[in-house]
Structure 1
């Protein structure tokens, strides 16, 4: 769908993650030993870029970066991973969004405590400084407190003569009513299970069929649904489903939904069908759940049979 020389621009959160791996979820008011602790770069758009880069798609990250020590770690990691971020907005008065994450090593679940009250969001005026020449795709992480600005950013893309061929995708994850305003914005609309259930849908098929009426003409709706896999509906009403492909043992589910989105975009960017894209999304997300972190990911071959798995996979966006 996009030229191999065109880049994918991801707009959204860059987060500093502090990860603790425990043998079971700790009880309140106890002193619990853990297996390991480490820092990682997180945030949906940031994770999207990490996966896109490893799948061979040129990409660029546009978000906000503060002037604190956590932001220095994030900048260094982005540089190490080869992710261009020089158009990120500097926010010297703000603070880096942080997440304290507990991984239960017995089942791979992740519990997240997130703080971003002092973090700023990219504005439409700041996005105007992004040169869209050489850009084939822009993906927006839906941020409930930044909906109006996102609408302006997409409007700029739609009216920009240099952006006639740019594909726009949006992600709706959090159960917030204002997020509904983002549905008509994307050529591809990624809807998380949490938002779909909040919107009254009890299955991934019901979600993509119901929300198809609320997106722009010609758009495709894609919805991952955890252990049930993923579903997509194209503008002509065709519905595709893909089975989940979990690892033999679930190790770490942090960023599984971000991985699914990035793998889908990577395949669509390379000209694959919607059906092939969601199948690839399930495979790469499953592989991610079988390892710690997002690095060294690749597209596994299709699995002839669903593998048995220990633990629970969470592909909620």
Structure 2
């Protein structure tokens, strides 16, 4: 499953995790940020995860999954409170319905000064769902002006200081353009908009690129967007042009749609 091996490139992924419980089915480890970290590692990128779990069985399950997949856990902290849990129902078409979300300790997690210093030592920092994400971006820029920073703007707010703002819309082209224009006008250098079955769109304000989604027999769309992000980041670290990076993201997302959960477990 390795798509790209990037020598000496290190990515810090910051934010949420959860245990995905499929109603009437199995249980998997997931979460926006955690899915990105594992998918990066599956593509040969050195990834370290920064986030919080509770001192419970779910937290131990998450820590074990990260280690089994080779993701660094230097930034994994144990906090007072429960680990996040998401209950999911999958429709016959493979679409996910979130029945219940308890964000647990991830709702209050913010990287400490020491953790921010560690994150700043990486080549790229990606932010998933994170309270006060814009503040973390500002502080990282001050610590490491040359670091590349991306963010899943569907789950965290703010665009200023981002090298890549990942957005998500429906299949409408006009909506994708509006999302990209909004991210760029608010300070992002590049906006990447995923559009589900309609593919992906990217713009830097001067140029734009499109990529079609790949055909797939959908089992579950959980984690598809996170997988796209990981594929895009891995490709850009390998100096792939934007259009090629979109295509790389689409390939990883298509694979994820073929199984339950955000990565093979």
Give the TM-score taking structure 2 as reference length.
Answer: 0.89
**Corresponding residue for residue 38 of structure 1:** 26
**Pairing 1:111–2:81 present:** no
1:188 aligned onto 2:191: no
2: CA distance between counterparts of 1:127 and 1:208? 33
Q: Aligned residue for 1:68?
A: 56
Q: Aligned-pair RMSD on alpha carbons?
A: 2.5
Matched residue count: 260
Give the one of 20, 42, 47 matched to 1:59: 47
1:183 counterpart SS class = coil
- In 2, distance between residues paired with 1:167 and 1:14? 22
User: What is the aligned counterpart of 2:128 among 124, 130, 141?
Assistant: 141
Greater CA radius of gyration, 1 or 2? 1
Counterpart of 2:233 in structure 1 is 265
Indicate the SS of the match to 2:246.
helix
Q: Give 3-state SS (helix, strand or coil) of 1:203's partner.
A: helix
What is the CA-CA distance between 1:202 and the residue it aligns to? 4.4
The correspondence for 1:169, drawn from 150, 153, 156, is: 150
Question: Does the aligned pair in 2 maintain the 1:89–1:126 contact within 8 Å?
Answer: no
Distance between the aligned counterparts of 2:105 and 2:42, measured in 1? 31
In structure 2, the CA distance between the partners of 1:265 and 1:75, relative to structure 1 (3 Å rule), is same
Answer yes or no: is the 8 Å Cα contact 2:55–2:81 preserved in 1: yes
Instruction: Indicate yes or no: 2:155 matched with 1:155.
Output: no
Q: Is the 8 A contact 2:137 2:161 kept in 1?
A: yes
Residue matched to 1:231: 201
Secondary structure in 1 aligned to 2:135? helix
Shift of 1:130: 4.2
Partner Cα separation in structure 2 for residue 87 and residue 211 of structure 1: 28
Cα separation, 2, equivalents of 1:129 and 1:154: 10
**Cα distance, 1:270 vs. partner?**
1.1
Contact 1:102 1:111 (8 Å CA) reproduced: yes
Match of 2:35 in 1: 47
Give structure 1 stretches of 5+ with no counterpart.
Answer: 21-33, 298-317
Shift of 1:141: 1.3
Separation (CA, whole Å) in 1 of partners of 2:106 and 2:151: 21
Task: Specify every segment of 5 or more residues in structure 2 that has no aligned partner in the other structure, as ranges.
Answer: none
TM-score scaled by structure 1? 0.75
